[in-house]
A and B are shown apart, each in its own frame.
Chain A
């Protein structure tokens, strides 16, 4: 049994069709997101299937996948908490928010994944929302002006199975769902369906 079901393989063909004939390799990113939406990260098997879909080797796929931080090649929590600590956020107290994220999830520095598998905490570079510093993303949904206390509340809510309302837009259910959105499967658009 592969990573992608026959149904998702058909979806993958639709993703390839977004790009000109002969240029299907361009679909590598959305296909990696598609695999990630199933596996919660991208495993060796996932890389192999993407290669098979594109007619390139697993090594070629891995070379691309390993370049990009949003493609996760190692075990990842159900929720990915990204704390921006770049300058604009640091000036507004991001370091304490980052510390709070570790404390609340029980992740030690240098670790990434909480013991229960619920959280991955990730130190993020500038998220392009510096007017709302410090900024945190939960599964790529933005939370503005986060204090250490708010960070702890957000983690506790996620642990209870709640999905906190982000500052703008809708919250994905979890990291897998976010990956599905990133693959372009949840919004209308060319090549996405019907």
Chain B
């Protein structure tokens, strides 16, 4: 098995501090970067084949090369630490355990694009990880890593920690920029892309935390070493967040392309209670769910796409045979109704109405025509809104209807949830369920 890269030090509590991190060779990657020209640093990252770990998988070095450095405007680096995709918890742990690894990657990225001002957009609810980061930033200033002369090189870099305030949409990069500038976190039209016109209208590089954590290792060990890990088109390791019905939920770093079966059995301890896998998401709630037929799918960008889903953030939520797919879908879809920023009608209205239809099916009031209605709803949201939040909302609906249509039909035919047995006759347990006890008239 390939050694771990960005979680290799997780067993060592001392790497939380700058001293401990330096004892492990920390900031050696930044030193190596400063000895090269920014263009050489970008070439190194390009040659490694590293792809963004925030969900989209865009090549990181190419993204860096898209930032023009000769516009006369300042350039900015913004780190996306707004980790909110349901099921995803890797960035939080990366920061809690080794904040300097991330800060080193941030500094290298800033140097590569000639930026003297870096921002970290930290999810508001991450009170404790944000404090750890604030302390690590202060430590780095104190040690001359940030400030007027990075490691004595004469290169100036300042880092500002900015905390969000509870909005999933701010993980979308243009919404993040709106939020960072002090506006409602609503997405912007692209083009212009942030690389050209980002923060304050200036060229901006936006990277996910996990992506940046990889960068120091690439500078330290060379791009060939990195490219040799995992499959050719998705090189490197990936931190998978495994949660739900497994014996040992947690973050596991494995080479890209590791099959789900290995991840579940060799790392997460198998399905909870020895039960059977029913469904799973490869990359959080906005990636289409897959089933036990896909146990041998290799977890990399290409293979998961070929299986009909997306690698996304690598957040694997596991459901077993005792879990109701309609209930799971309803809960995931409700998230999007809550988090829709309201800008686009298909997303704002579609998620709200879809939610009511799913509520009534789960509560035992579904109608046979509700399933074509949900199909239609999905088609009318997908690719019809401004940003990917709407597309993500459709994923659980379309994928659950594809693989578990019979379970929806059973809900409607039996007028109750066939898994929990709950229905109008069985007595609704919560106010929410009681609140939908009268059928809602929705027609297509």
Contact = CB atoms under 8 A, between A and B. Distances in A.
Interface of A: 18-20, 23, 25-30, 32-33, 54, 63-64, 67-71, 82, 85-88, 90-92, 95, 99, 108-110, 124-133, 137, 140-142, 166, 168-170, 172, 178, 181-182, 184, 186-191
B437 interface: no
Given A87-B317, A90-B331, 7 more contacts: A30-B163, A33-B165, A64-B182, A88-B87, A91-B244, A128-B83, A188-B135
Contacts of B180: 26
Nearest to B83: A128
Nearest to A186: B131
B166 A69 contact: yes
B328 interface: yes
A33 B124 CA distance: 11
A86 B86 contact: yes
Contacts of B181: 23, 25-26
Nearest to A166: B128
Interface string B307-328: 0000000010111000100011
Interface stretch (B49-57, B88-96, B221-229, B373-381): B88-96
A141 B285 CA distance: 24
Interface in B298-349: 315, 317-319, 323, 327-328, 331-332, 335, 338-339, 341
B141 A130 contact: no
Interface stretch (B4-12, B154-162, B410-418): B154-162
Contacts of A132: 249
Contacts of A85: 331
Contacts of A188: 134-135, 138
A126 B93 CA distance: 15
A63 B184 contact: yes
B139 to A, nearest CB: 9
A189 B185 contact: no
A128 B131 CA distance: 16
Contacts of B219: none
Contacts of B163: 29-30, 33, 182, 184
B158 A128 contact: no
Contact of B160 (A68, A71, A90, A190): A190
Q: Main SS of the interface on chain A?
A: loop
Contacts of A26: 162, 180-182
A140 B243 contact: no
Given A25-B181, A27-B182, A190-B159, A126 B86 contact: yes
Contacts of A168: 96, 128
Contacts of B323: 91
Interface of B: 83-89, 91-92, 96, 117, 123-128, 130-132, 134-135, 137-138, 141, 158-168, 179-185, 200, 241-245, 249-251, 285, 315, 317-319, 323, 327-328, 331-332, 335, 338-339, 341, 430-432
B245 A91 contact: yes
Contacts of A32: 165
A126 B85 contact: yes
Given A68-B166, A187-B138, A189-B137, A133 B243 contact: yes
Contacts of A137: 125, 127
A131 B250 contact: yes
A69 B89 contact: no
A128 B127 contact: no
B131 A99 contact: no
B138 A189 contact: yes
Nearest to B89: A128
Nearest to A64: B184
A68 B125 contact: no
A126 B335 contact: yes
Contact of A70 (B91, B96, B141, B165): B165
A63 B243 CA distance: 36
Contacts of A30: 162-163
A70 B167 CA distance: 9
A130 B128 contact: no
Given A109-B432, A110-B431, A131-B250, A126 B165 contact: no
B92 A128 contact: yes
Contacts of A71: 165-166
Contacts of B127: 137, 140-141, 169, 172, 178, 181-182
Nearest to A181: B127
Nearest to B339: A125
A172 B250 CA distance: 26
A25 B182 CA distance: 5
Contacts of B124: 68, 70, 140, 182
Given A87-B331, A90-B331, A189-B161, A67 B430 contact: no
Given A125-B84, A129-B89, A191 B160 contact: yes
Contacts of A109: 430-432
A129 B92 contact: yes
Most buried by A among B126, B165, B315, B319: B165
A133 B323 CA distance: 16
B186 to A, nearest CB: 8
B160 A18 contact: yes
Contacts of B184: 63-64, 67
B241 to A, nearest CB: 7
A30 to B, nearest CB: 7
Closest 10 CB pairs of A and B: A169-B128, A109-B431, A130-B243, A68-B165, A69-B166, A25-B182, A187-B134, A188-B138, A140-B127, A70-B166
A162 to B, nearest CB: 19
Contact of B244 (A67, A92, A186): A92
